[in-house]
């Protein structure tokens, strides 16, 4: 960031005496911090990074400033992946620009697959189970795959991979689809990873990929790093949180999350971050100027590479540096088939991780043995209500 700030000051000398303070906050605190800053008027930033699913919600809450005029006259606009920019636009007004993108895939170790006799990475759900069982047999005491309950961004791929949708919108009204046959098949299969096939341990129930809700490291992430977990679903950024004494780093590789029957991979959630200007900022022009430097082709690419993400420019994605890396190839392939709805719905974060944890709690109840039909039906109606109204009733 220091380099980028120096660049910016050189590029735009009117700001050469501006002091820039960069504040790193824990990712899970971000929405609380925005709300507090807005309400109390204290500690409000001028520029903020947001998850791309945050942008629609925060824009509608009045947290972000309308930067349409800046963006429309920006040289970088044409190179940005259009779908990503569309996510940040509401009724024609732009509230953020994409900074980097990332998708999830399945982490594994190439040498482990070879040793267990797996010749090619799985492309169907049944192959995934078979491979997990082979790995657990070859490496007793490890877990085959992490069937956690609190990562809907990853779980969505299984619903989409069965041909279903979590929820669909028409004319502003949401209809939840969890009770459709495709969705139920996906839910049943995912839960069976724990209940029937015992590929995942009980401690992952109620956890995110990083452990307990709110943790910044631990859980399945640490287990994969230490070799206790054979296959792990997460994005390439997960390497940042793995323990320092992780084993066999050279064997790390990735393959896209399989769909139910193959041969194509399941659609993945198009995650990533945006940059936005805070509504209470007193210097929107200066903010935009800095953002345009942070988000130009070279800076965004180098920043993304540092963290294991992809830059938002279509030219970079189709080029090739990602496809040739053993580690990143799976992610790059997966990125070509991405989906975002309904995770960018206005009330999605309330339904998923803000207040109600609808899908995580549903998975948790099912893994704990609750009756399938009634639990899924209850979650479905709750999801529909929350998506439409923002509250449970």
Partner 1 sequence: MTALTSRTGVSFHKRRWARKAGLNVLGLLVALITLFPILWMISTAFKPATEWYSLTPHPLPDHPTLGNFRTVFDGSLTNGLSYWVFLKNSLFVTVTSVVASAFIALLAAIAVARFRFRFRATYLIMLLIVQMLPQQALVITLFLDYRKWDLLDSLVGLILVYTTFSLPLTIWMLRNFVAAVPRQLEEAAAIDGAGPYRSFWRILLPLVAPGLIATSIFAFVFAYNEFIFALTFLGADTAKYTLPLYVQYFYGRTGAQWGPIMAASTLFTIPVMVFFLLVQRRLASGLVAGAVKG
Partner 2 sequence: MVRTTQGETGVRGGGAQPPRHQGVAWGSPPLTRSTATWIRRHRVAPYLLLLPSLVLIAILVLYPAVQLGVISLQNYGLPQEIGTLPTQWVGLHNYSQILHDPEFWLSLRISLISSVVMVPLTLVVGTLVGLLLSRLGRKMAAFVSSVATLAWATPAVSAAVIFVWLATPDGGLLDWFLAKWPTALGGGARWAAFSWTNAALPAYTLIIALVVWTGFPFIAISVLAGLRTIPSELHESARVDGANGWQIFWKVTFPLLKPIFLVLLLVSVIWDFGIFTQVYIVIGELGQRDMYNLGIYEYANAFTLPPTYGLAAAGGFILTLILLIITVGYVRTSVRQGALQ
To partner 2, the closest distance from the beta carbon of 284 in angstroms equals 19
282 contacts partner 1 (rule: CB under 8 A): no
**Stretch (H or E) spanning 145:** strand 143-145
Q: How many chain residues bind partner 1 (CB under 8 A)?
A: 20
Residue 219 binds partner 1, judged by CB under 8 A? yes
Q: Does 392 bind partner 1 (CB under 8 A)?
A: no
Residue located via tokens 């999605």: 348
Residue 39 is a binding residue for partner 1 (CB under 8 A): yes
Min. distance of Cβ 354 from partner 1 in angstroms? 17
Q: How far apart are CA 187 and CA 373, in angstroms?
A: 11
Q: How far is the CB of 232 from partner 1 (least distance, A)?
A: 15
d(CA 153, CA 270): 9
Q: Which is nearer to partner 1, 222 or 273 (CB)?
A: 222
State both tokens at 155. Answer: 């779980």
Contact 376, 81 (CB under 8 A): no
Phi-psi region of 71 (alpha: psi -120 to 50; beta: other; left: phi over 0): alpha
> Considering only residues 130, 175, 179, 217, which one is a binding residue for partner 1 as defined by CB under 8 A?
217
DSSP state letters, 34-58: HHHHHHH-SS--SEEEEETTHHHHH
Q: Which of 87, 350, 380, 385 binds partner 2 (CB under 8 A)?
A: 350
Binding residue (CB under 8 A) for partner 2 from 10, 11, 43, 62: 62
Instruction: Examine residue 263 and say whether the peptide bond preceding it is cis (omega within 30 degrees of 0).
Output: yes
To partner 2, the closest distance from the beta carbon of 222 in angstroms equals 9
- Is 50 a residue that touches partner 1 (CB under 8 A)? no
Closest to partner 1 by CB, 36 vs 123, is 36
Of positions 16, 22, 29, 371, contacts partner 1 by CB under 8 A: 29
Residue 14 binds which entry of partner 2, partner 1, none, CB below 5-8 Å type-dependent: none
Residue 373 interacting with partner 2 (CB under 8 A): no
Q: Confirm or reject binding of residue 361 to partner 2 (CB under 8 A).
A: yes
Q: What value does the CA radius of gyration of the chain take, rounded to a whole number of Å? A: 21
- Is residue 137 within the footprint of partner 2 (CB under 8 A)? no
Strand partners, 255: 106
Footprint (CB under 8 A) of partner 2, residues 140-199? 150
Q: How do strand 229-234 and strand 143-145 relate by DSSP bridges?
A: parallel
Q: Please give the residues from 40 up to 59 whose contact with partner 2 meets the rule CB under 8 A.
A: none
As a whole number of angstroms, the distance between CA 235 and CA 52 comes to: 15
Q: 62 is in the binding site of which of partner 2, partner 1, none (Cβ under 5 to 8 A by kind)?
A: partner 2
Asked if 218 is part of the footprint of partner 1 (rule: CB under 8 A), the reply reads yes
Here the contacts of 369-377 (C-beta below 8 Å, separation 24 or greater) are 369/195, 372/184, 372/188, 376/178, 376/179, 376/184, 376/187, 377/179
Q: Which pair of tokens denotes residue 68? A: 């349409």
Q: How far is it, in rounded angstroms, from Cα 18 to Cα 5?
A: 10
- Rounded CA separation 350/124 (Å): 32
Residue whose CB is less far from partner 2, 37 or 297: 37
Listed ranges 25-33, 102-110, 188-196, 353-361: which one lies at the site for partner 1 (CB under 8 A): 25-33
* Three-state secondary structure call for residue 310: strand
- The token pair at 64 is 């972000």
- With CB under 5 to 8 Å by kind, the binding choice for 205 among partner 1, partner 2, none is partner 2
Asked if 215 interacts with partner 1 (CB under 8 A), we say: yes
Residues that bind partner 2 (CB under 8 A): 31-32, 35, 38-39, 61-62, 150, 201-203, 205-207, 212-214, 349-350, 354-357, 361, 364-365, 368, 390-393
- Residues engaged in binding partner 1 (CB under 8 A): 25-26, 29, 32-33, 36, 39-40, 42-43, 210-212, 214-219, 222
């Amino acid at each position: 960031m220091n380099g980028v700030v120096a660049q910016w000051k050189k590029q735009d000398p009117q700001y050469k005496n501006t002091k820039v303070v960069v504040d790193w906050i824990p990712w899970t605190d971000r929405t609380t911090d925005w709300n507090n800053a807005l309400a109390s008027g204290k500690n409000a930033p001028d520029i903020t990074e947001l998850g791309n699913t945050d942008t629609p919600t925060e824009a509608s809450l009045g947290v972000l400033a309308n930067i349409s005029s800046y963006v429309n006259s920006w040289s970088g606009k044409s190179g940005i992946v259009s779908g990503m920019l569309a996510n940040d636009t509401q009724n024609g007004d732009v509230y953020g620009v994409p900074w980097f993108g990332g998708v999830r895939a399945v982490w594994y170790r190439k040498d482990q697959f070879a040793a267990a006799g797996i010749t090619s990475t799985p492309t169907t759900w049944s192959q995934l189970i078979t491979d997990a069982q082979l790995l657990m047999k070859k490496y007793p005491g490890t877990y085959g795959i992490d069937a956690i309950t609190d990562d809907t961004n990853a779980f969505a791929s299984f619903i989409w991979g069965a041909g279903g949708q979590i929820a669909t919108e028409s004319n502003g009204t949401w209809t939840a689809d969890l009770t459709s046959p495709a969705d139920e098949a996906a839910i049943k299969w995912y839960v069976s990873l724990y209940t029937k096939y015992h590929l995942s341990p009980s401690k992952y129930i109620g956890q995110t990929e990083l452990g307990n809700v709110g943790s910044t490291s631990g859980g399945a992430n640490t287990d994969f790093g230490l070799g206790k977990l054979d296959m792990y679903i997460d994005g390439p950024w997960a390497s940042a949180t793995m323990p320092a004494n992780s084993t066999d780093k050279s064997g790390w590789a990735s393959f896209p999350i399989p769909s139910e029957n193959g041969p194509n991979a399941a659609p993945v959630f198009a995650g990533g971050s945006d940059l936005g200007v805070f509504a209470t900022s007193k210097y929107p022009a200066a903010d935009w100027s800095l953002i345009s430097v942070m988000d130009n082709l070279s800076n965004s690419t180098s920043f993304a590479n540092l963290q294991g993400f992809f830059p938002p420019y279509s030219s970079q994605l189709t080029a090739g540096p990602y496809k040739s890396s053993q580690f990143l190839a799976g992610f790059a392939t997966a990125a070509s088939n991405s989906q975002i709805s309904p995770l960018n719905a206005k009330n999605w974060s309330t339904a998923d991780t803000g207040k109600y944890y609808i899908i995580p709690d549903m998975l948790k109840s099912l893994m704990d043995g609750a009756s399938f039909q009634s639990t899924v039906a209850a979650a479905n109606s709750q999801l529909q209500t929350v998506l439409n109204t923002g509250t449970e009733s």
